Structure 1
Amino acid sequence: MISIPLAPIYVGMLIFLRVGLVFLFFPLFGERFVPVRVRLLLGLATAIVLTPVAPVAVAAFPVTPWEFVQLVLMEALLAFGVGIIGRVLFGVVQFSGQIAGEQMGFGLVNAIDPTGAQQISVVAELQYVLAILVFLAAELHHVFIGAIARSFEVLPPGGAVLNAGVVDFVMRLGHVLFLLSVQFAMPVIIIIFCINVALGMVARAVPQINVFMESFPLRIIAGVSMMMIMLSVSVGLWLGMFGDMEGMIGELMGLMRG
C-alpha cells in the first residue's frame, strides 16, 4: 500500500493560505479590478516555489483537525495583518487627499472609486492613483513580494501566535494613518487657511464684495498650485513611507512569533 506523506501537503496549504490571503488583502494586488482568480493563481504559484524551502515550526505532522484549524486561523490573521499594513500606507495618501480636497472646496465633488466601489474626493482618487504608479515605478512591489518570501524565515508555517502586542501594533497603525494624513495635507491646509484669513479681512474692509463666491476659485487655484509645487516632495515622502513597509511587516512577524 502506498503511503502519502501528509506533512508537505499541510505545509503547502499553510504557505498558500498566507500568500494567497496577502494577495487578496493587500492594495494593488487586492483591488476589485484584479480578478480573484488571478490573485489566487499568483498566490498558488508563489506557494509552489516556497514550499520546498520553507522551514516548518510545527513539531509534528500530521496534526489533529482542531489543531490544523487553529493553524489556519493564525495564518489568516497574519495575512490580514500584512494587508492592513498596506491598506494603512496607501490609506495615508488617500486620506490626505481627502482632507486637501475638502479644504479646496471639493467636499461635495466626489468620484466613484472603481478599486473600492465607494465615493471619494477627486483629489483623494488622484493621489491614490499616483501613489500606485510611484509604488510600481520604484519596483516596491518586488520588495513586498520579497518580504513575504522572507517572512517564512522569521515566522515559519504553523509558528504564528496571537498576543496583546499584535493588538497594540494594529492600534498604532490607526494612529499613524491619522497623523501622517494630516502632515501630508498640511501645506494645502496652511495655504487655504491664509486665503480664508485674507478674504475675511477683505470682507471686513469692503462688505460689498461677495467673498463667499470669490473664495471658491481662489481656494481651488491655490490648492492645486500648492499640490503641484509640493509634488516632488510628496513623492519623496511616499517613497520613504513605503520603504518602511518591509520593516513594519517584519515587526508584525516578530510580534506573532511570540
Structure 2
Amino acid sequence: MNLFNFSPSDLMSFYLTFFRVSIVLFLLPFFGGRSIPNLVKAALTIVLTLGIWPHVSFDGSLMPSSPYNIALMILGEVVLGLVLGVAVHVMFSAIQTGGNFIGVQMGFSMVNVLDPVTGVNEAVTAHFLYMTAILVFLCLNGHLYLMSAMIESFKYIPPGQIFISSKLTTQIMTISRDLFILAVKVASPIIASIFVVDLALALISKMAPQMNVLMLGFPLKIMVGFFFLSMVFSVLGLYVSEYVTTMPALLLNIIKAGSPPPPLIGN
C-alpha cells in the first residue's frame, strides 16, 4: 500500500485495526499495567498496528457510518478486551490471593504495600509472589501468547460484534472458579506449616504457662513461613508454566465462543 495515498477504505481499515489493538492491549495484563507510562503504551499500540495491519486487518466497509454505531462498536471492543483480560488476570489474582493468605498466617497482614499495577494495597507477600509470577510469565513468552490471541480475534470477531453466548459465560465462570482453587494450592504449604506451629505453641502454653508464647510465636511463625515460602517458588513456577502452556488454547476457545453466529440463510 502507498502510505501517502490512502484510499478511504484503507483509512477506515487502519482505524478499525487501531481500535482493536489499542482497546484490547490496554486491558490485558502487563501491557495495561499502570506502571507503564501512557506514552509508551500509545507508541507500542501504533507500532503494533502498523506491523499487523498489512497482514491482518478489517475491511474498511465495516466502519459504522453514524456516531451512535461507532460508540456501540467501541463498547463491543471494550467487552472483548475485558473478556480476554479476565481469562489471564484470574491467574495473577489467584496468586495475589494466595499471597494474602500467606501474609495473614505469617503476621504480615498489617504490612501492606501499594501495588503499582492494580493501584490497591496488599500484603507484602502477595506483591512478592505477584512480581515473581510476572517474571516467570514473561520468561515463558506469555506476553507473546497474549498478542497472538489478539491477532486471532481478527479472524473470528468482527469490530464490536462479540457475542455473549451461554458457552462464553460458562467458560468465564469456570475460570473464575479456579481462582480460589489455585490460591489455596499456592498458600497451602505455608498454611499447613503455620498450623503445626500454632498447635505446638498451644501445647507449650499448657505445659509451661509462665512462658510468653506470644513473644515466642511471632518470630517463630515468620521464620517457618520464610522457610516454606522458599519452597513455594518452585511450585509457583510449575503452576504458571502449566497455565501459560494451556493459555493459547484457552484464549482461542474464548474467542471462538464469543464469535457471532453465522447469519441464517432463508429458504
Give your verdict on TM over 0.5: yes
- The answer for the alignment partner of 1:192 in structure 2 is 194
Shift in alpha-carbon separation, 1:72–1:226, aligned structure 2, 3 A: same
Q: Check whether the contact 1:101–1:123 (CA below 8 A) recurs between aligned residues.
A: yes
1:237 to partner: Cα distance: 1.4
Shift in alpha-carbon separation, 1:202–1:38, aligned structure 2, 3 A: same
Residue identity (%): 28
Quick one: which amino acid aligns to residue 180 of structure 1? L
Cα separation, 2, equivalents of 1:61 and 1:213: 69
Q: 2:224 aligns with which of 210, 222, 238?
A: 222
1:156 to partner: Cα distance: 4.4
Shift in alpha-carbon separation, 1:167–1:63, aligned structure 2, 3 A: same
1:158 to partner: Cα distance: 5.1
- State yes or no: 1:102 paired with 2:104: yes
- The answer for the alignment partner of 2:264 in structure 1 is none
- State yes or no: 1:167 paired with 2:160: no
Please give the secondary structure, in 1, of the residue aligned with 2:250. helix
Superposition pairs for residues 1-258 of structure 1, below 5 Å?
Answer: 5-54=7-56, 56=58, 61=62, 63-65=64-66, 66-157=68-159, 159-258=161-260
Cα separation, 2, equivalents of 1:83 and 1:145: 12
Quick one: which amino acid aligns to residue 65 of structure 2? T
1:34 to partner: Cα distance: 0.6
Please give the secondary structure, in 2, of the residue aligned with 1:230. helix
Deviations 1:64-100 (A, max 9, x none): 3244433322122101211222222211222211111
1:126 to partner: Cα distance: 0.8
1:199 to partner: Cα distance: 1.3
Quick one: which amino acid aligns to residue 75 of structure 2? L
Shift in alpha-carbon separation, 1:57–1:208, aligned structure 2, 3 A: farther
Q: Check whether the contact 1:57–1:156 (CA below 8 A) recurs between aligned residues.
A: no
Quick one: which amino acid aligns to residue 28 of structure 1? F
Please give the secondary structure, in 1, of the residue aligned with 2:55. coil
Quick one: which amino acid aligns to residue 105 of structure 2? Q
Cα separation, 1, equivalents of 2:253 and 2:7: 34
Superposition CA RMSD, Å = 2.3
Quick one: which amino acid aligns to residue 200 of structure 1? A
Q: What TM-score do you get using the length of structure 2 for normalisation?
A: 0.85
More displaced 10-residue stretch of structure 1: 191-200 or 242-251: 242-251
Number of equivalenced pairs: 255
Question: Which ranges of structure 2 fall in alignment gaps of 5 or more residues?
Answer: 261-267
Please give the secondary structure, in 1, of the residue aligned with 2:258. helix
1:125 to partner: Cα distance: 0.9
Cα separation, 2, equivalents of 1:74 and 1:8: 22
Shift in alpha-carbon separation, 1:251–1:108, aligned structure 2, 3 A: same
Deviations 1:165-192 (A, max 9, x none): 3333333332121221111111111111
Q: What TM-score do you get using the length of structure 1 for normalisation?
A: 0.88
Deviations 1:201-233 (A, max 9, x none): 221222222222211111111111011123222
Question: Which ranges of structure 1 fall in alignment gaps of 5 or more residues?
Answer: none
